[in-house]
Amino acid sequence: MRTQIAAANWKMNLSIEQAESLTDQLIAGEIHTSAHQLVLLAVPFPYLLTVKNKISKQSGVYVAAQNCASTTNGAYTGEVSAEMLKGMGISYVIIGHSERREYYHENNQILAAKVNMALEYGVQPVFCCGEPLSVREAGTQNSYVETQLKESLFHLDKEKLRHFIIAYEPIWAIGTGKTATSDQAQDMHAHIRKVIADYVGGEIADTVSILYGGSVKAANAAEIFGKKDVDGGLVGGASLVASEFNVIINSLKQ
């Protein structure tokens, strides 16, 4: 089975005390992962090592960064490089979240450079894609997402896409409480897998974990994750509540 992933995206939330407390609560809730399951906690940069140390004994649970620089080390004030993440033992990084695209003007070309940096240092990207409401209303979401994938990922050697992680997050469903229906998620995930298969072949495309993100919560996770091409979720608001996120972890396909 493909790796099934519950990824928390804390975004720019929580004090350090709250971050420590949430981590302790998640552990106390007992995170059980099977061999094909993975739990990621994408926390703000300053909390990476604190949370990493707390979860070090939890099998199948890892911290992730929420971003990395598109360049190697140098005079880039305020940036954090993939090499630095690697040096701190961080093995996962979110790249291309819609909030980075919108507020920090990260386009598909910049994101391609970030993906290259992460892979060069052995940090696995969780690459985000997804359309705004206007595109969904125009019915052109498939070609919109296809372009995002092609322009940021399809310069890579095919083998680099084996076991890759993609998160489909329709922007109109992020933080709005408006979840895509499980059928809408499945339709887009199947499309993404087909686009990847056209590039690298079906055998590699079948190993790619495609997560759904956008108002995932305890109450809807099992239905969404139950769909054939949905391999878990990237979760914002509900990941800040331990009891919610523990249910979401337990909703991954067994």
Query: Given the rule CB under 6 A, which residues bind ligand 13P?
Result: 9, 97, 169, 174-175, 213-216, 234-238
State which residue, 83 or 169, has the beta carbon closest to ligand 13P: 169
How far is it, in rounded angstroms, from Cα 244 to Cα 81? 32
Query: How many angstroms separate the CA atoms of 114 and 101, rounded?
Result: 13
Closer to ligand 13P by Cβ: residue 197 or 241: 241
Q: Is 87 exposed, middle or buried (0-12, 13-18, 19+ CB in 10 A)?
A: exposed
CB 112 → ligand 13P: shortest distance, Å? Answer: 20
200 or 217, CB closer to ligand 13P? 217
How far from chain centre, in Å, is Cα 113?
17
- Which position among 83, 97, 146, 244 bears the catalytic label? 97
Can 97 be counted among the known catalytic residues?
yes
**Which contiguous run of DSSP H or E holds residue 92?**
strand 92-95
Of all residues in the shown chain, the one whose CB is closest to ligand 13P is: 236
Name the minimum Å distance from CB 203 to ligand 13P. Answer: 29
Residue 105 is a catalytic residue: no
Catalytic one of 106, 169, 189, 191: 169
* DSSP classification of residue 249: H
Nearest to 7 by CA among 45, 91, 49, 64: 64
Comparison of 27 and 241: residue with beta carbon closer to ligand 13P: 241
Residues with a known catalytic role = 97, 169
